[in-house]
Structure 1
């Protein structure tokens, strides 16, 4: 099948061809016709399957006939809600690429950056708005955004949106849009809470599932290293020196862990950058740009910051901390081996993460290759490490001395 078979018009087909795409991916093939028929849909597809174009192209086609309103007269006709800033920026770039030969205007708004320039862009009038939930509601409250004319609402990465605690915001945004609208829900996985959200806001939706949720690419070589927690950094440095080459993303569970590892790698002469939720938007974009431009070859990230980021030619992924949610493992290693290329995933597992390995293997139905030949092996009998707080009081909580129970006069 070619893009022409999907009833897209010539200006959009021209932009798609210039972007270097010849044939639609499976998710595009299945989704685009339903969107053009104005149906509500639930799409379950991993990142890297081309799902942004699956909603961007038909939305541009539907809006094409109404594109010639004067700039000031433009109303927001399509709203895309995205959980992270990076993802929102990426979606906006896709819309701009595909709408090159139209007069449709796209804007992107997100928190962590100055609100005034975003207000200026919105006041000039836009057709398509891509937004993170917090900033969208903020600008709506200030009467800068009017959602009364929205014809298509897209909820992208719905499972991540709910994991990040945006469920109330998402429901509020949906209620601010007209009742008569088309809603498109995209999610890498469809857990119970996503299903519940879909039932509450979608109208007899069509379901599209592209590859099973648990699928990991056959082109990713998945390896596992058992290592004591205290030796993980040494093992990581050992692998970077002797085994892992090229462009690498390293995943850590916490922001503190990301910062700590970045300092260690920089001290050891590696070109590394990092992204996590506490960094300013500018810092995150700079780190991402340096990585994409090959000024750095290692990017350390938390899962939330890295979800959905499209990076070409990623040679390896290191799971420095194993995720406790097995689907997260699938998302992480899906960053490498895209578009038919090959990649390697390295997972470092300490004693307290062994149960995570079991749940990951159950999900992906693959036994991970355990590499025993390394300098920091884990004792097979090693138990989960319990860290005692050094400053812990020897007294039981809740016990007060007689003196403290007496009513004291306060100075305030």
Structure 2
């Protein structure tokens, strides 16, 4: 059998395997030389420089539709929701001159229980407007719309919604749940409930505060027995009663106080749960609507010193024809929604970062100054820091022989213990150490100054802290301690916040830190530290903490 060779022909003959490639290359080169001899005038072409235009291609002009602005732009103000009504902060008016007129019992209680005869701006504009709407509803049940009220802390917002609600309930025949007031904290429940009891003295109006220190079942029995006209609660507690069958069919007013904080927290999805329950309980019967039914629908009253502009959060409230009331001087307003009291003076103290270890001692030295030795509220970042700071300041003041009365309120105390401390502070003065949770809505008119020992976490918290003083058109001071450049940068970010705070034309004053031997002015802060005493007190505090564990 013959074998087949796998070698190529050239390989069989012993030829060069690349000869064919070289041969084609040689023929190509010879051909180029012949062309060059025939056309000697053709030179080698020079490379051309190509200009490249990097400008974008022209695009067709987009249609301008004013309704298609961004969500971010929308959330910078509330003009998209309602046309704001601006009212001057300096307005006052005697309660006896209100139109429609207030009940004589309410005016008497305002004079004897609250010690006031004239209303502030937010009270004038909300009470009179709301009373007119309520009077119109007696003839025409068509809903008059909801209220969004933006006014500074200490401007009298609580009475602004309580007075018209109480006035509307005078003479009611059958007791039913007519009003729910939602607040963020238990201390604020106590405060609002106390105001209701004082305002309704001598009137046949029932009120009840829902608290978490008793079971829902026991509280439900109390609701059935008392049949309150007004209920004050936190959202979480209210939801528990809603799920337990609370009837909202006769509810006329839903008040959301400190709205920005409540809308930022879920509380068992309280907002959607409440609004859904309200809509279901107040549905018209078959074949009924506004025009053939005399059922008055619930109106929502939203109050805050830092009113949110977030459309997504406000959507959950399902507002109806909202009226936006802004208490501010119209000529100064630039869509600011953060208001501080008009008589508040803001100051800050820049301290070298190296002295951060002696921060409590720096605070004590600041409190030694006569104008800061009593009726002051000091803010810390947590319950634990408030308790320890109060004890350390007490030890330091005793060692140094200072006449300072240091107190602390925190959530480790029971309600009656907090109330007792707050009453003593209001009547006798002293220095009160507290946290942000206690700050919301705290109404102690004797507070002369607020001092931020720890910086707040947001502009809103700063507004609510400093708003604890300079209330009801009184004068007050807010001081912030900044240790090092990092604290100072954060402080500037908080207080300037893109120009959304209305400071009533005032600037923030810097207090310079000097030594006893330096040249100084009356406004300077003279800082001298006794480090040995400070270290002794720290050791003593450490022993106390270890012994309690």
Short-chain TM bin: 0.7 to 0.9
Within 5 Å, give how 1:48-197 maps onto structure 2.
48-66=154-172, 68-69=173-174, 74-112=175-213, 118-119=219-220, 121-122=222-223, 123-143=225-245, 145-166=246-267, 168-177=269-278, 178-179=281-282, 180-193=297-310, 196-197=313-314
Question: 8 Å contact 2:373–2:430 — kept in the other structure?
Answer: no
Correspondence for 2:420 among 286, 290, 295:
286
Q: Is the 8 A contact 1:106 1:127 kept in 2?
A: yes
- Paired with 2:382 and 2:169, the residues of 1 have a C-alpha distance of 42
Give me the whole-angstrom Cα distance separating, in 1, the residues matched to 2:229 and 2:357.
53
- Using structure 2 for the length normalisation, give the TM-score: 0.62
Preserved contact between residue 247 and residue 313 of structure 1 (Cα < 8 Å): yes
Superposition TM-score, scaled by structure 1 size: 0.81
Q: What CA deviation, in whole Å up to 9, does each residue of 1:323-378 have, x standing for no partner?
A: 1312322322222222343332221112332222212442447233232224379x
**Could you tell me whether the CA contact under 8 Å between 1:56 and 1:95 is conserved in 2?**
yes
CA shift for structure 1 position 199 = 6.7
Q: In the alignment, what sits opposite 2:458?
A: 325
Structure with bigger gyration radius: 2
Taking the aligned partners of 1:207 and 1:199, their CA distance within structure 2 comes to 17
- Counterparts of residues 11-26 of structure 1 (less than 5 Å): 11-18=105-112, 19-26=114-121
Partners of 1:110 and 1:370 lie apart in 2 by 44
SS of corresponding position for 1:146: coil
Structure 2: 5+ residue stretches without partners: 1-92, 134-143, 283-296, 329-335, 399-403, 515-525, 530-549
The answer to whether the aligner puts 1:34 opposite 2:129 as a matched pair is yes
Alpha-carbon distance in structure 1 between the residues aligned to 2:253 and 2:473: 33
Worse-matched range after superposition: 31-40 or 113-122: 113-122
2:395 aligned with 1:302? no
1: CA distance, partners of 2:306 / 2:226: 37
Q: CA deviation at 1:161?
A: 1.5
**Distance in 2 of aligned mates of 1:54 and 1:256:** 36
Q: 2:375 aligns with which of 247, 258, 281?
A: 247
Q: In 2 relative to 1, CA 166–277 (structure 1 residues): closer, same or farther, beyond 3 Å?
A: farther
Give the aligned length: 370
The answer on whether the counterparts of 2:360 and 2:393 sit within 8 Å (CA) in structure 1 is: no
Q: Helix, strand or coil: the match of 1:224?
A: strand
Deviation string for 1:5-44 (max 9, x for gaps)? 2322233233223333222211111111332315310001
Q: Is the Cα contact below 8 Å between 2:155 and 2:341 reproduced in 1?
A: no
| Rounded Cα–Cα distance in structure 2 between residues aligned with 1:117 and 1:16 | 33
The 5-angstrom pairing of residues 361-380 of structure 1 reads 361-362=495-496, 363=501, 364=503, 366-373=507-514, 374-375=526-527
Unaligned runs of 5+ in 1: 378-412
User: 1:395: which partner in 2?
Assistant: none
Name the CA distance, whole Å, in 2 between partners of 1:257 and 1:11. Answer: 46
Per the alignment, in what secondary structure is the counterpart of residue 108 of structure 2?
helix
Matched, 1:272 2:381: no
Measured in 2, the distance between the counterparts of 1:289 and 1:119 equals 31
The Cα RMSD (Å) is 2.6
Residues 121-157 of structure 1 show CA distances to partners (whole Å, capped at 9, x for unaligned) of: 42222111111112222233344x4333211111111
Residue 299 to residue 118, structure 1, CA distance change in 2 (3 Å): farther
